[in-house]
Structure 1
């Protein structure tokens, strides 16, 4: 019954709001050249935590509003810092740019996402911290994959995973989590490129990493555990056209193990895509309606609106609730 909770829950739906606009992204691109007053490290850390929490809570518009002035302030503060404070601020810049890139991806602006991810990796490399570098590399690889550069993205992901040394000595949970997250994205990237064997291998290795964690580990913004692997399995096998396998992964997900609203929304949307490709638009519609109840801004992403439109105009009976959802999010 636990596995069905999110798909059949009765959480009251709130009003769906727009995920974001290009206007929210422009200040992030211009942050490095914006005149701003330096902040204390404590104030910057608190603002970054708030923006990150907004993202994981699937409140993307709120995250964007917090992030633009934060990036400008971080640049101003970093310029005047020295010693360990400068390294700490570079790490914050890396995290902030990774967050901005992820938001741009949610908004469907891949060009901005790529630019912000590249700036984040530049800041990460200045820290010399392997986890920070791995997190920023991960985000950059995602933007490269979305731009069709699958080979380059896989090279970045596999190299970053190898450099973590998660299979050597006694790595900490954060290292294993970073390693597993990189492998999950590598699996999805390989699947997007049509390489089933590589996707299988990466997912198997990610599952092995998950067994080494008692609970959930985090690297960057992404939690990693066994449920993470199954969520990526849904996307990977849907991309490969093997929707039966994708739905097997969906059935294995225990929603309580998905530790953030953003991840729960992602799971439900990916399940909807798998059901749609499997020829069950009714099940896809129910998954999307559940996603709206749990993560309204996730359902209003451009790619999800496109899926809703496809389902509304499918040559099969359309639930009235789905037509109402289409109206709420402006799907045409």
Structure 2
């Protein structure tokens, strides 16, 4: 196979710095873990540390945030004084993006797309590296890599930026959704402040139908922020849901309003207002029933699935399962391969089965859940986030049944599918329960250390 190469300047100092800080982390961060955070492959990180690749400044900023290195230190290591600066990967004649340094087929094309994702709004924003990461400076001037901090930054202290073309905003939002689906929560958190700021600036700049379109995109962006806040058990879910509702109403479109309403119900459910959340969802589903568009049907199906899970919180088994059946019937009428880029929950057969499993788990009915576990093939779930959710439910079911080995096997499956899911508060609590049980499981203590549980 022929290889098209662009010579990269030596980067031994850069590679040494990254490798040293990665190994110095406690617990030690692996190349695979760093790759997951910055959105690249393990082999790509290996090549950076070997001095074969010099990332562009946008990616250097993300590596700095992940390893708590001052961005200036990384940039200086990558481009020491006296060396010709690296070409701008976005400029004509530069040979494409940084990923074209060694172009070897589809693998590198995927990494090239990742570079585009990391810098999706930087040209319009004209911001420095600290703002591109979405991370505010700490007292030491170093960016924080905490998802909760990024959520607060995006909602309360957004960076200053201007409007961007609607098509560019739409593509950025779809890529952010992809980060969520693949459980790249640190990457998503770092992108959200700039995404939200650009969405608001774009909406405020426009009028007429263009403003309605921008409002719909802003609604989806705030709903996605709420999804991440819910994953992190952050109280900012309320703020994100409220802003999503306001933007969705301004759009005048039912689909983003349905998604925003679903997000608001999640905030209500987490506050213990289960009946009110279910009533809100059912009313909204009925309102969307008159809209014949595919987007509205998809939003309604997602609402029905969330309503079913919400009803399980107050023990309404029949109502919960009926809502899943209704969503599955709707799902048969939806072509999710066309124009469904903004839909997080999809009422496919396997995902409806996943919600039945979640419902039995919430109802405390592990005996009913076991047959569902066994008839689901987790590989049929299209995203890492959904596969991790299945394994999380399975772990909880086996834990309820007192089966330590199967509980631990499910926890390890979560880490395999989506390492950041294994570090979520609810999963860490399950790991802690297992760690302090009377069951002795080889490898459990090491797993607990890797996932941030200190026993």
Is contact 1:180-1:210 (8 Å) kept? yes
Mapped to 2, the partners of 1:206 and 1:272 lie a distance apart of 25
- For structure 2, the 5+ residue unaligned runs are 1-30, 38-65, 67-144
Is contact 1:161-1:183 (8 Å) kept? yes
1:191-210 equivalent positions in 2, closer than 5 A: 191-210=312-331
**Equivalent of 1:81 in 206, 209, 213:** 206
Corresponding residue number in structure 2 for 1:39: 164
- For structure 1, the 5+ residue unaligned runs are 1-12
- Deviation at 1:213? 4.7
Mapped to 2, the partners of 1:140 and 1:194 lie a distance apart of 21
**Equivalent of 2:299 in 178, 183, 202:** 178
Corresponding residue number in structure 1 for 2:282: 158
**Equivalent of 1:321 in 443, 446, 450:** 443
Mapped to 2, the partners of 1:235 and 1:183 lie a distance apart of 14
Residues 76, 215 of structure 1: CA spacing in aligned structure 2 closer, same or farther, 3 A cutoff? closer
- Deviation at 1:216? 6.8
Mapped to 2, the partners of 1:235 and 1:82 lie a distance apart of 43
Corresponding residue number in structure 1 for 2:115: none
Of residues 244-253 and 52-61 in structure 1, the stretch that sits farther from structure 2 once superposed is: 244-253
- Deviation at 1:37? 2.0
1:60-99 equivalent positions in 2, closer than 5 A: 60-99=185-224
For this pair of structures, how many residues does the alignment match?
Answer: 315
Corresponding residue number in structure 2 for 1:5: none
Is contact 1:216-1:223 (8 Å) kept? no
Of residues 302-311 and 188-197 in structure 1, the stretch that sits farther from structure 2 once superposed is: 188-197
Residue 23 (1) aligns with residue 149 (2): yes
TM-score w.r.t. length of structure 1? 0.87
Mapped to 2, the partners of 1:229 and 1:20 lie a distance apart of 32
Structure with larger Rg: 2
Corresponding residue number in structure 2 for 1:262: 385
Residues 216, 189 of structure 1: CA spacing in aligned structure 2 closer, same or farther, 3 A cutoff? farther
Residues 193, 23 of structure 1: CA spacing in aligned structure 2 closer, same or farther, 3 A cutoff? same
Corresponding residue number in structure 2 for 1:10: none
Corresponding residue number in structure 1 for 2:250: 126
Is contact 1:223-1:259 (8 Å) kept? no
**SS of the residue aligned with 1:116?**
helix
- Deviation at 1:214? 6.7
Residue 221 (1) aligns with residue 344 (2): yes
TM-score w.r.t. length of structure 2? 0.65
- Deviation at 1:208? 2.9
Mapped to 2, the partners of 1:81 and 1:215 lie a distance apart of 30
The Cα RMSD (Å) is 2.4
Residues 183, 228 of structure 1: CA spacing in aligned structure 2 closer, same or farther, 3 A cutoff? same
- Deviation at 1:212? 4.0
Corresponding residue number in structure 1 for 2:309: 188
Is contact 1:305-1:329 (8 Å) kept? yes
Mapped to 2, the partners of 1:176 and 1:20 lie a distance apart of 36
Mapped to 2, the partners of 1:196 and 1:87 lie a distance apart of 39
**SS of the residue aligned with 2:402?**
coil
Q: After superposition, what is the alpha-carbon deviation per residue over 1:85-144, rounded to whole angstroms, capped at 9, x for unaligned? A: 1111101110110111111111111x2011101110110111111111111111111111
Q: After superposition, what is the alpha-carbon deviation per residue over 1:227-250, rounded to whole angstroms, capped at 9, x for unaligned? A: 111111111111111111122222
Is contact 1:164-1:175 (8 Å) kept? yes
Mapped to 2, the partners of 1:215 and 1:322 lie a distance apart of 39
Mapped to 1, the partners of 2:336 and 2:261 lie a distance apart of 24
Which of the pair has the greater relative contact order for Cα pairs under 8 Å at 6+ separation?
1
